[in-house]
Structure 1
Amino acid sequence: MINFQGKVALITGGSSGMGRAAAIAFAKYGAKVVVAARREDQSQAVITQICQMGGDAHWIKTDMRNPEQIRSLIEQTVEYYGRLDFAFNNAGTEGKFAPMTELSETDWEQTITVNLKAVWLCMKYEIEQMLKQPGGGAIVNTSSWLAKGGLVGSTIYSASKGGLDSMIRPAALEYAPHNIRINNINPGIIDTEMLRRFFHPDDDAAKPFIHHIPVQRLGTSEELAQTVVWLCSDATSYITGQTISVDGGYAIPGHRVA
């Protein structure tokens, strides 16, 4: 049984999708939860739901493009709850998908800033806090199957997630002696708000993806959230520096029936 009583979890991008599901999951297991996001109405809806469950949650408005707000986020979390045990760095952007010759330096900078630099900063300040307190901590970041795969138009997004997968390995080596574990989840085709900006799960555009997912369906935010909670629990105390695919087998190499 997972028991997070007395623990504090920080979730960035916690107002919707996988972040929202993770915030609720951490609260169900007893953790106090900080939701970091820009959108007040959606964030407050998550806080209200957690409180109605009997949990304890707090919203901190944070723009991942702003380094000072990221630093302040961790400071405010500790000021409010006294410590930081778990961090799910989930905030991200799909950026602009287009052939490379149609993309600009601005497109590059915007996606890399949110998906890679901001996660690096989150980890930096989260680890600094975890080093100050007894017990260490666990960090999980949202990467993507596109860190190892590709779609037409995904050069910048794939680069941002590939960089994120590479970054956690040395970070895990650096802080394993301090009982701080760092892992990534690599979601496959998950039914989220971000996915629905590309296509609806019931559209014809979704059919080729579903056809090539061995379990023959899209994943859910709740399934991702359970993996995040598991990676923060004592059940995975010997796992660090890993990228965990949660994709229904989509990324398995091999023959697919046309």
Structure 2
Amino acid sequence: MITGASSGIGASAARLFAAEGARVVLMARREHRIRALAEEITAAGGEALAHPGDVVRPDDVGDVVTAAVKTYGRLDGAFNNAGWATVGGRLHETDDADFDRVLDVNLRGVWNCMRRQIPAMLELGQGGSIVNTSSCAGVLATGAGAAYVAAKHAVIGVTKAAAADYGRDGIRVNALVVGSTRTELMEEVIAEMPALEEAFTSRSAQQRMADPVEVAQAAAWLCSDRASFVTGAAVPVDGGWTAR
């Protein structure tokens, strides 16, 4: 199950997971995008199910988990990747509506997903793997808005708590600490404010942004048995940003 699958890192993950043999369930609000992606994956010989929904709505998430189990008989892994941010501003300049929306999508969305994914994994009794998308803003004050920084810190916290809660059940839970990534949304931001490209690339030790598939590869590894003894980790995929 991949949330935020309509573009960027989520769409790249869907293609990669499917190419590696996973049967993928795609969740996003933009139904036409995930249906087109599911058709693309199927045409390439993979298996994909598109199910629209908003991670902020618990019933939507529950419907997707139910559809995954009904269609494929199980839920082995999840990449909780949906996110939302506003243009960075100082804390006192952030209004309540923006704060609520940022926390709802980035934190409550992850919470809603795990609250429904974990019971499905427990019922099967064969463990599973969950990967949550955090950010460099989850470990540093990056210049992003305070609400976003708070939400991404909290994603790492809830990831560690879940890893501790369900380790004996064979369910691994990890987070990705993602740096600047050249997604469609990032390209749109740079097109409007070209000076930001230097700001985004200069923070990386590699002096570049990630390609979305590079983040997807880290998620694929964490979801696979190759990472069988990795849980409760916040794995940097940031080109060395947090190492500097």
Higher helix share: 2
Residue 35 of structure 1 aligns with which residue?
26
How much has 1:74 moved relative to structure 2? 0.9
Residue correspondences, number: 244
Letter in 2 for 1:179: G
Residue 165 of structure 2 aligns with which residue?
174
Residue 7 of structure 1 aligns with which residue?
none
Q: Is the 8 A contact 2:125 2:169 kept in 1?
A: no
1:1-12 correspondence runs (5 A): 10-12=1-3
Q: Is the 8 A contact 2:13 2:216 kept in 1?
A: yes
Matched, 1:226 2:217: yes
Q: Which moved more, 1:128-137 or 1:198-207?
A: 198-207
Letter in 2 for 1:91: A
- SS at the partner of 2:176? strand
Identity fraction in percent? 36
- SS at the partner of 2:166? helix
Per-residue CA deviations over 1:136-168 (Å, capped at 9, x if unaligned) read 100001100011122445100000000111111
In structure 2, what is the Cα distance between the partners aligned to 1:73 and 1:222? 24
How much has 1:208 moved relative to structure 2? 3.1
**Structure 1 unpaired stretches of 5+:** 1-9, 254-258
Letter in 2 for 1:125: R
How much has 1:228 moved relative to structure 2? 0.5
Residue 132 of structure 1 aligns with which residue?
123
Q: Which moved more, 1:93-102 or 1:83-92?
A: 93-102
1:241-256 correspondence runs (5 A): 241-253=232-244
**Structure 2 unpaired stretches of 5+:** none
- SS at the partner of 2:243? coil
In structure 2, what is the Cα distance between the partners aligned to 1:70 and 1:49? 23
Matched, 1:141 2:132: yes
TM-score (norm 2): 0.95
Matched, 1:215 2:238: no
In structure 2, what is the Cα distance between the partners aligned to 1:19 and 1:153? 21
Residue 72 of structure 2 aligns with which residue?
81
TM-score (norm 1): 0.90
Match of 1:190 among 160, 167, 181: 181
Q: Is the 8 A contact 2:55 2:112 kept in 1?
A: no
- SS at the partner of 2:2? strand
How much has 1:89 moved relative to structure 2? 0.3
